[in-house]
């Protein structure tokens, strides 16, 4: 039995890569842009984005673009300096 040290859940890694695609210069992104930036198929990006939206980590804004949600601020605030 594995000790779990090498266990990675692919969907979690992919969801995190979607969140990490946003930065100061890319504050809102389309599904196509997220797919291109992450290398994840558009259908998979759609499913992951829907989940991240439902969980409160992404918001849909004008022209069906996505941006990071304020919930991430509360998560970041929990990080110790």
Tens-digit pLDDT profile for residues 18-40 = 999 999 999 999 999 999 999 99
Percent of the chain with pLDDT over 70: 91
The closest alpha carbon to 29, from 62, 54, 74, 71, belongs to 62
Q: State the pLDDT confidence band at 7, using cuts at 50, 70 and 90.
A: confident
Cα 73 to Cα 10: distance, rounded to the nearest angstrom: 24
Contacts of residue 52, defined as CB under 8 A and 6 or more positions apart, other chains included, come to 15, 18, 19, 58
Q: Report helix, strand or coil for 68.
A: strand
Please determine, for residue 1, whether its predicted confidence score (pLDDT) is greater than 50.
no
The mean of the pLDDT values for the chain is 92
């Amino acid at each position: 039995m594995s000790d779990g040290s090498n266990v990675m859940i692919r969907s979690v890694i992919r969801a995190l890569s979607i969140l990490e695609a946003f930065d100061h210069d890319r504050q809102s992104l389309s599904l196509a842009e997220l797919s291109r930036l992450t290398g994840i198929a558009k259908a998979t990006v759609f499913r992951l984005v829907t989940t991240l939206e439902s969980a409160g980590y992404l918001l849909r804004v004008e022209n069906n673009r996505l941006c990071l949600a304020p919930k991430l601020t509360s998560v970041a605030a929990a990080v110790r300096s």
